[in-house]
Amino acid sequence: MKYKKITNEDLLYFKNIFGEERVISENEIKSEYAHDELGTVFNYPEVLVKATHKKEISALMKYANLHKIPVTVRGSGTGLVGACVPIYGGVLLDLTLMNKIIELDKTNLTLTVEPGVLIMDIYEYVLKEDLFYGPDPGEKSATIGGTVSTNAGGMRAVKYGVTRDWVRGLEVVLASGEIIKLGGKVVKNASGYSLKDLLIGSEGTLGIVTEIILKLTVKPVKMISLLAPFNSKEEAILAAPKLISNHVIPTAVEFFLNDSLLYSERYLGKKLPHNNYPAYLLLSYDGYHEEVVDKDVRKASEMLINEFNAIDVFLIDTEERRKAIWSVRDGFLEAIKLSTTLIDECDVVLPRAKINEFLTYVDNLSSELKVRIPYFGHLGDGNLHIYFCKDDLDEKKWQETLKRGFLKLYDKAASFGGLVSGEHGIGFAKKEYLKNQLKSEQLTIMRAIKKAFDPHEILNPGKVI
């Protein structure tokens, strides 16, 4: 793909749109804008612009479309697949200044926000009103625009679903600069193809999300978490689907091994309680009636110990302890990152019944390739996070190991009915693996969709397909 290089004339034009101080050119751009949180994909933009209004974005896109300049959107940059990295240079469009909460509609139970609002600020804002936003991705400093554009999942997906399930409407600036509205405050919508749902998870390749109408619900009155240690990963993994099929459906079920706790202790610089068991489930239950939540927790505890071989069940029922244990869980990625020189990640999603077999395959692969591969996962929805650790491998060996290992993992996952990404998306890093998995007909349709939205391929080029 050939794109126009940015000239002084272009910079002048951008300064007219955004103002002098929100256009940052080449040498002044900080290195953090050249990578995302994982850091495996790296490239500087030619210019960084910070938008404060959709009209600026519309003007930028009209100009970029005319001159064939690539535009990559960036939220908080917490992605893990290089999706917000401008691999063809061009313009990096930072939306973090567009961070207004526009309207809380208590009758329709919707919250209208700009894309740069952080998800932690959304939780705090709605909780004060006794309301609740369901999706719960691990990194709370992500923007809502980023989580919409990656269809982020998270811990509570078992009960509350993923970001797509909570988006009622979008405002989008197209590659042409036109502004369109998709969906709205309506609960149901059978009005033609759902372009809204196509935009969600499209990683900034189809349009730029400038306003989001989120669905809210009322705040659950009670939330309790349980920590259940097991003697083996196999027993822990088998317990989750059994709880679900026995009608004690948790809000979240996270799975991890002892090593994740030990990495966390090093990361946090403190000892964690209950840290000496081989495998764990961390569950949470919530609801609108205290007695129902208590009954579910009692039933889950009994079943875990009496029927599914949990060694014990520790009840975490104060807000302080609940926050503490879930923040340890949220920090696993950072803790593993700190345990080595470099990591790369596989975010496969599998049918729940295949997880044990798949993780045995991962353990064998770790021995075969002589590389450390820690993992943990959102067990309730079959989404695993598997990390290859570089440790002291030289660059050549590391690249060979990654390539061989990832190909094997994704092939194995596909043979079990799994898919390349459960929640982190495809971005740049997982493109080849997605291509391997799709039929040519699917790729053709996806390419035609991209062409229809973005005929000059200026929106986040080189990503997803």
Ligand X SMILES: Cc1cc2nc3c(=O)[nH]c(=O)nc-3n(C[C@H](O)[C@H](O)[C@H](O)COP(=O)(O)OP(=O)(O)OC[C@H]3O[C@@H](n4cnc5c(N)ncnc54)[C@H](O)[C@@H]3O)c2cc1C
Helix (H, G, I), strand (E, B) or coil at 16: helix
Separation between Cα atoms, residue 36 and residue 142, nearest integer Å:
12
Q: Looking at beta carbons only, is 362 or 429 nearer to ligand X?
A: 429
- Least distance from ligand X to the Cβ atom of residue 325, Å: 16
Stretch that binds ligand X, among 46-54, 122-130, 201-209, 318-326 (CB under 6 A): 201-209
- The residue within the footprint of ligand X, chosen from 58, 110, 112, 150 (CB under 6 A), is 150
Q: Looking at beta carbons only, is 98 or 369 nearer to ligand X?
A: 98
CA dihedral 179, 184, 188, 189 (to 10 degrees): -20
Stretch that binds ligand X, among 152-160, 225-233, 284-292, 398-406 (CB under 6 A): 152-160
Q: Looking at beta carbons only, is 164 or 222 nearer to ligand X?
A: 164
DSSP 8-state code for residue 4: P
Lay out the site mask for ligand X across 376-415 (x = CB under 6 A, - = otherwise): ----------------------------------------
- Of the chain, the end-to-end C-alpha distance in Å amounts to 14
- Does position 153 interact with ligand X (CB under 6 A)? The reply is yes
Stretch that binds ligand X, among 42-50, 58-66, 103-111, 132-140 (CB under 6 A): 132-140
Separation between Cα atoms, residue 388 and residue 378, nearest integer Å:
18
- The residue within the footprint of ligand X, chosen from 87, 248, 333, 359 (CB under 6 A), is 333
Separation between Cα atoms, residue 225 and residue 347, nearest integer Å:
25
- Does position 95 interact with ligand X (CB under 6 A)? The reply is yes
DSSP characters for 433-448?
HHHHHS-HHHHHHHHH
Q: Looking at beta carbons only, is 169 or 313 nearer to ligand X?
A: 169
Could you tell me the strand order of the sheet in which 23-25 lies?
A: 23-25, 47-50, 91-94, 71-74
Please, which residues have CB within 8 angstroms of residue 407's CB and are 6 or more apart in sequence? 433, 436
- The residue within the footprint of ligand X, chosen from 45, 70, 90, 154 (CB under 6 A), is 154
- The residue within the footprint of ligand X, chosen from 112, 149, 251, 366 (CB under 6 A), is 149
- Does position 115 interact with ligand X (CB under 6 A)? The reply is yes
- Least distance from ligand X to the Cβ atom of residue 460, Å: 5
Please, which residues have CB within 8 angstroms of residue 31's CB and are 6 or more apart in sequence? 44
Stretch that binds ligand X, among 126-134, 149-157, 320-328, 400-408 (CB under 6 A): 149-157
DSSP 8-state code for residue 379: G
Lay out the site mask for ligand X across 45-84 (x = CB under 6 A, - = otherwise): ---------------------------xxxxxxxxx--xx
- Does position 335 interact with ligand X (CB under 6 A)? The reply is no
Residues in binding contact with ligand X, number by CB under 6 A: 37
- Does position 254 interact with ligand X (CB under 6 A)? The reply is no
293 vs 176, 268, 296, 313, 341, CA distance in Å?
50, 32, 5, 16, 43
Burial label, 440 (beta-carbon count in 10 A; 0-12, 13-18, 19+) = exposed
- Does position 339 interact with ligand X (CB under 6 A)? The reply is no
- Least distance from ligand X to the Cβ atom of residue 201, Å: 9
∠ at Cα 195 (4, 162), nearest 5°? Answer: 105
Q: Looking at beta carbons only, is 254 or 286 nearer to ligand X?
A: 254
- Does position 121 interact with ligand X (CB under 6 A)? The reply is no
- Least distance from ligand X to the Cβ atom of residue 38, Å: 8
320: number of Cβ within 10 Å: 7
Burial label, 213 (beta-carbon count in 10 A; 0-12, 13-18, 19+) = buried
Please, which residues have CB within 8 angstroms of residue 404's CB and are 6 or more apart in sequence? 369
- The residue within the footprint of ligand X, chosen from 92, 117, 126, 208 (CB under 6 A), is 208
Q: Which residues bind ligand X (CB under 6 A)?
A: 36-37, 72-80, 83-84, 95, 115, 137-139, 142-143, 145-147, 149-150, 152-154, 203-204, 208-209, 333-334, 423-424, 460
